[in-house]
Structure 1
Amino acid sequence: MADPILILGIPLDFILFGFILFGIALFHRHTLAIALIGLAVIISYKIGFTGFKFGMGVAGLGHHMEHEWVTLANLFLLLMGFALLSRHFEESRIPDEVPALLPDDWKGGAVLLVIVFVLSSFLDNIAGALIGGTVARHVFRGKVHIGYLAAIVAASNAGGAGSVVGDTTTTMMWIDGISPLSVLEAYVAAIVALVIFAVPAAMRQHRLSPVVKNATSGLRVDGARVFIVAAILIAALVANVTANLKFPALLDTLPVLGLAVWAAILLTAFLRAPDWKVMPETFKGTIFLLALVTAASMMPVEKLPAASWPTALGLGFVSSVFDNIPLTALALKQGGYDWGFLAYAVGFGGSMVWFGSSAGVALSNMYPEAKSVGSWVRNGWPIAVAYVVGFFVMLAVVGWHPDAPH
């Protein structure tokens, strides 16, 4: 790999990536085209000038994609599969029953965010966000505030931050030999953050559209669809735990989690056919995320600043615009972090912008109005405040205890 071209001391790779992010923020109705054009420009630049981490020219690109394909395939299969899961869940009619179980006032919205948080602690955070978004559509009769949508994503990311089965980044740590107990401490910060952003988000949602309590009379839950939803979620959980405990090497060669989800979808299709109509729009959102993740993986980030709590804090803000998977991989390679802090930072930090996490992209496929950086930041600003406060509460209560490089 050749040295990158520098402009005012900044590698041109980062400038090109910055233009992609700027374009997405400015022209949110054309995010897919911007991401794909930006990725094509970056690939062309690297083929023609600097090469890739694993070689020069087209051969270098091939080796790079060989290294990244499992991550990309997993994201593709999960985003597409969980979109079908959310439709099964919606058509099961369970979301229509939820309003009767929630408090009448703003606390109903807050309780729903807590439910999303808990679900994401043992499910993938994409599934947690989509289930939360599906319930919100029924609870608030389709009038969901963009600040509340941001809060759903934040709750799903916060719930997955302290669990090695709740987020891709924490699963990466588990695969790399980090103890699940080392990651568990992230919940100190995550719970504090949840309280801080959930209350204003729920109050704002209540002012826009309160919980609708009158459930449809004579409602009958579709048991077959409930079974399908449970089967898909259990398949994902069992595949994740089994692969990590028994066959960790398999995770580097096959998209195990995504394949398990799709196996469950196809094997249960005879009970109720999936709603394939959601696939075209979901496909667009998925390709958008994969384009960003691929572009991020090509950036010349060979090492991070020295491991410290200020570095971990900063990585949370970086994760809002830069994919957290390569950041986590670099941190694991470098070592010397307190892994609970890193899990919270890269897991929850992505909530500050809609495309900063896979959960945000998945929910934005369901609610296209969320695909505006300006609206997301303007209405979801309590999330950034919650991130910082949660981090420093954790620093005061738990303290920074870095692990030796492993």
Structure 2
Amino acid sequence: MDKRWTWVILGLLPALAHAAEGPVILGIPLDFILFAATLLGVALFHHHTLSVALTGLFVISLYKIGFTGFNEGAGVLGWLVHMQHEWVVLTNLLGLLLGFAILARHFEDSSVPHVLPRFLPDDWKGAFVLLVMVFVMSAFLDNIAAALIGGTVAASVFNRRVHIGYLAAIVAASNAGGSGSVVGDTTTTMMWIDGVAPFDVIHAYAAAIPALILFGFFAARQQHAYQPIQKDASAGVKVDWARLGIVVWILVAAIATNVMINTRFPESSDAFPFIGAAVWVAILLAIPLRKPEWSLLPDATKGSVFLLSLVVCASMMPVEKLPVASWESAFGLGFVSSVFDNIPLTALALKQGGYDWGVLAYAVGFGGSMIWFGSSAGVALSNLFPEVRSVGSWLKNGWHIALGYIIGFFIMLALAGWHPHAPHKASVPTIQSGTQVH
């Protein structure tokens, strides 16, 4: 299953290559073959994902330095300049992944997850309602935070026995919920910064909501059969309001910073990792109230370095041009984004123009849910549930995610249609590639 899926993705990637320099094998640039080999290694050796990703990064970097160079220049200097262009988004992602790991533990220790069974339905519908909650949260929060909060609640209400198919659904709900909101996903925020109106992406929900209903139904039934929801909260549980206040404080800091930078100082958004820094300032300021669980950071750092390694690999691929804008190409980009960084894809789409931004937002935002490392939300959740780090298990148990993506996409086309937008600027500045945050 892992190998077949990776070869399908390998077949899609050459469509993105354009005038690549260097060796070409069967029409595929060697850069893509090395990247596909890295992804195949991650899929097959899921107990050694970090080592595989770092090895892939090392080999691809050496190849680019020695043979093809970078858009920024050749050799080691070109690599250094390329990394300089990437550092803001990479640092932002690292700050968010580690910061929201701390936030998730604050939320767990607040005991709120333990009292939720009082308010959730007792049968499979309780699991479904939890997915809806994650979906709604992600429209306003970062999808990493929404997925981690959802995973924390699931661990509590299901006695820490959470089905892999349901974990995949939590990631999918977080990505789907952010797809129609310019503050819910990095790609839609990019569109907003670049001049796309917020209402031009909101019809992504015409696909995201049906997709949620479909995969949510199957995932909730999977979870109920595997481990039913607790019927009653633990006796004597009291909410730690100070910790809950810290959670709200961190989220408000992230959202406020995101909105302020992107509305008032958009020209500075790629100069400093403002959102990641805001999260950590909020965490540090809250230490006098409650001490964070610092012991979480080593494992969270390993997961973060794994994702960042794949992000940097993707950023070095010779993706110079997208296929001609159409609903068919947007549909295909959803599958590509399950393994390929969706930020450069979105940047290229903005530069090229001619896309329906709501359709594209759904495709690249939700598409990463189909594989566990396809979005930062999936990688973050894998730090809480290491058992998801198997492409085969994710695909076998989370089959309803891909089905939801496909059916949701065509429902959106039927309801909202395909309404491509002409380039909204006379000259669209290039946005540097970066993290895959769905």
Equivalent pair of 1:193/1:386 in contact (CA under 8 Å): yes
Residue matched to 1:116: 134
- The TM-score, its normalising length taken from structure 2, stands at 0.92
Secondary structure of the structure 2 residue equivalent to 1:122:
coil
Given candidates 332, 336, 360, the residue that maps to 1:318 is 336
Distance across 1 between alignment mates of 2:353 and 2:280: 35
Distance across 2 between alignment mates of 1:113 and 1:230: 20
Kindly report which structure 2 residues correspond to 1:220-299, keeping only aligned pairs within 5 A, or say none.
220-299=238-317
Residue matched to 2:183: 165
Structure 2 gaps of 5+ residues are: 1-18, 425-438
1:144 aligns with 2:162: yes
Residue matched to 2:400: 382
Q: Which amino acid aligns with 2:242?
A: A
Equivalent pair of 1:163/1:184 in contact (CA under 8 Å): yes
Distance across 2 between alignment mates of 1:131 and 1:14: 35
Given candidates 201, 214, 231, the residue that maps to 1:196 is 214
- Paired residue total: 406
Kindly report which structure 2 residues correspond to 1:69-218, keeping only aligned pairs within 5 A, or say none.
69-218=87-236
Given candidates 56, 59, 70, the residue that maps to 1:38 is 56
For residues 217-260 of structure 1, what are the alpha-carbon distances to aligned partners after superposition, in whole Å with 9 as ceiling and x for unaligned? 22111111011000000001100111111010121101111111
Structural RMSD (CA): 0.9
For residues 356-406 of structure 1, what are the alpha-carbon distances to aligned partners after superposition, in whole Å with 9 as ceiling and x for unaligned? 000000001110000000000000011101101101011011010000013
Distance across 1 between alignment mates of 2:85 and 2:367: 25
Distance across 1 between alignment mates of 2:396 and 2:141: 29
1:402 aligns with 2:417: no
Measure how far apart 1:321 and its partner are.
1.0
Measure how far apart 1:295 and its partner are.
0.3
Equivalent pair of 1:2/1:49 in contact (CA under 8 Å): no
Measure how far apart 1:325 and its partner are.
1.2
Distance across 1 between alignment mates of 2:116 and 2:386: 24
Q: Which amino acid aligns with 1:110?
A: F
Equivalent pair of 2:20/2:318 in contact (CA under 8 Å): no
Measure how far apart 1:2 and its partner are.
7.7
Secondary structure of the structure 1 residue equivalent to 2:40:
helix
Runs (4+) off by over 4 Å: none
Residue matched to 1:369: 387
Distance across 1 between alignment mates of 2:88 and 2:351: 19
Measure how far apart 1:4 and its partner are.
2.5
Given candidates 294, 307, 314, the residue that maps to 2:325 is 307
Secondary structure of the structure 2 residue equivalent to 1:361:
helix
Distance across 2 between alignment mates of 1:292 and 1:34: 10
Residue matched to 2:77: 59
Residue matched to 2:409: 391
Distance across 1 between alignment mates of 2:394 and 2:48: 16
For residues 55-86 of structure 1, what are the alpha-carbon distances to aligned partners after superposition, in whole Å with 9 as ceiling and x for unaligned? 00011011111111111011100000000000
Given candidates 341, 354, 366, the residue that maps to 2:359 is 341
Q: Which amino acid aligns with 1:337?
A: Y
Q: Which amino acid aligns with 2:159?
A: R
Distance across 2 between alignment mates of 1:368 and 1:153: 14
Q: How many percent identity over aligned positions?
A: 67
Q: Which amino acid aligns with 1:290?
A: L
Residue matched to 2:45: 27
Q: Which amino acid aligns with 1:348?
A: F
Structure 1 gaps of 5+ residues are: none
Measure how far apart 1:7 and its partner are.
1.1
